[in-house]
Amino acid sequence: MNTIPKNILKQIQKVQKAEITEYHVYKNIAKRTKDEKNRAILERIAAQEKAHYEIWTRVLNKPTKPNRFAIFIYQILHILLGYTFTLKIMEKGEAGAEALYMQLEKYEKNAGQIALEEQEHEKELLDMLDEERLNYVGSIVLGLNDALVELTGAIAGLTLAFADSKIISLSAIITGIAASLSMASSEYLSAKTDNNPNAKKSALYTGVAYIITVAILVLPYLLIPNNHFLSLGIMLASVVIIIFFFNYYISVAKNLPFKGRFWQMVAISLGVSLISFGIGYVVKLLFGIEL
């Protein structure tokens, strides 16, 4: 084997640490996964990462400890966003590692094989994962999208029609709760018509997504009751942030394009808000409402 230069040694040490860190991440998530099929996939990838670590440990002739902070962060992501998103984010962080492994083949004959596994095998295994929440993305999109479009427009119109944040927030809450129940019921009936055995879960995901969105949109008016235009600005910013994070989550977890979906939802939500804002202004002028 060729003598390894110091700069290459440092790179190998980073790769070695990453492999043992990822081993622990996969192992921890596997322990908390109830589905046997998914747990077997995760344990298989963990074993693969452990094997990679052992190869680099043999090259360096020195073990290393995992990055405990990274393990903690991935554990939090797993709890909040699920294991599919978390693991795909982790694998995206390895995007440049394959080229490095090919360079290291000069010093370790198995480096090319490791690169192949990192690039193909793990992606294939991750695509096999079947996480329940991702099976209800359509229901979540329905609740989220409707809440963003309907409530953003309604609140924007109410903001100009009424100058009282209490009336605006109360109206939005009542409208939001009624709409969420309506959307959940519609989703349940639609799923039942399609003979979907999980109609209740579909309805639940739709309703919960709607309610959470309503709460986020109304919150600025409750926290800043004396400046409803500032509350409107914060609400609109919240809409863009919600759309950004939701579409990013879906793009990673479901391997879907991000930019087109993001800008489409932003254009629709803010477009409806602008139209509703104008309607509120016209209503205020026509009826002379001053509250």
Q: What is the CATH number of the domain that holds 120?
A: 1.20.1260
Query: Considering only CA atoms, which of 65, 10, 275 is closest in space to residue 160?
Result: 275
Q: Enter the tokens of residue 74.
A: 């991935």
Burial of 291 from C-beta contacts in 10 A (0-12 / 13-18 / 19+): exposed
Ranges of residues in the chain whose predicted pLDDT is under 50: 1, 291
Indicate the pTM of the whole model. 0.68
Query: Considering only CA atoms, which of 99, 6, 7, 117 is closest in space to residue 55?
Result: 117
Same domain as 157, residue 119: no
The pLDDT tens digits for 203-229 are 888 888 888 888 888 899 888 888 878
Asked if residue 243 lies in contact with residue 148, where contact means CB atoms within 8 angstroms, the answer is yes
Residue 222 lies in a domain: yes
Same domain as 121, residue 234: no
Contacts with 262 (C-beta within 8 Å, 6 or more apart), sequence order = 243, 244, 247, 248
Q: For position 266, what pLDDT does the model report?
A: 84
Q: For position 280, what pLDDT does the model report?
A: 67
Q: For position 63, what pLDDT does the model report?
A: 92
Same domain as 112, residue 147: no
Q: For position 172, what pLDDT does the model report?
A: 85
Same domain as 31, residue 147: no
- Mapping DSSP to helix (H, G, I), strand (E, B) and coil, where does residue 162 land? coil
Same domain as 76, residue 147: no
Q: For position 102, what pLDDT does the model report?
A: 67
DSSP 258: S
Same domain as 173, residue 31: no
Boundary of a domain, candidates 98, 130, 162: 130
Q: Enter the tokens of residue 23.
A: 């081993």
DSSP 118: I
Q: What is the dihedral of CA 246, 271, 145, 234, to 10 degrees?
A: 60
Asked if residue 100 lies in contact with residue 15, where contact means CB atoms within 8 angstroms, the answer is yes
Boundary of a domain, candidates 96, 130, 164: 130
Query: Considering only CA atoms, which of 78, 163, 91 is closest in space to residue 127?
Result: 91
Task: Give the whole-angstrom CA distance, residue 203 versus residue 186.
Answer: 8
Task: Give the whole-angstrom CA distance, residue 138 versus residue 202.
Answer: 9
Boundary of a domain, candidates 107, 130, 153: 130
Same domain as 250, residue 159: yes
Task: Give the whole-angstrom CA distance, residue 247 versus residue 87.
Answer: 17
Task: Give the whole-angstrom CA distance, residue 200 versus residue 47.
Answer: 38
Same domain as 162, residue 76: no
Q: For position 183, what pLDDT does the model report?
A: 80
Same domain as 276, residue 139: yes
Residue 1 lies in a domain: no
| Domain that includes residue 36, residue range | 6-130
Residue 81 lies in a domain: yes
Task: Kindly report the number of other CB atoms within 10 A of residue 141's CB atom.
Answer: 18
Same domain as 48, residue 106: yes
Amino acid 122 reads E
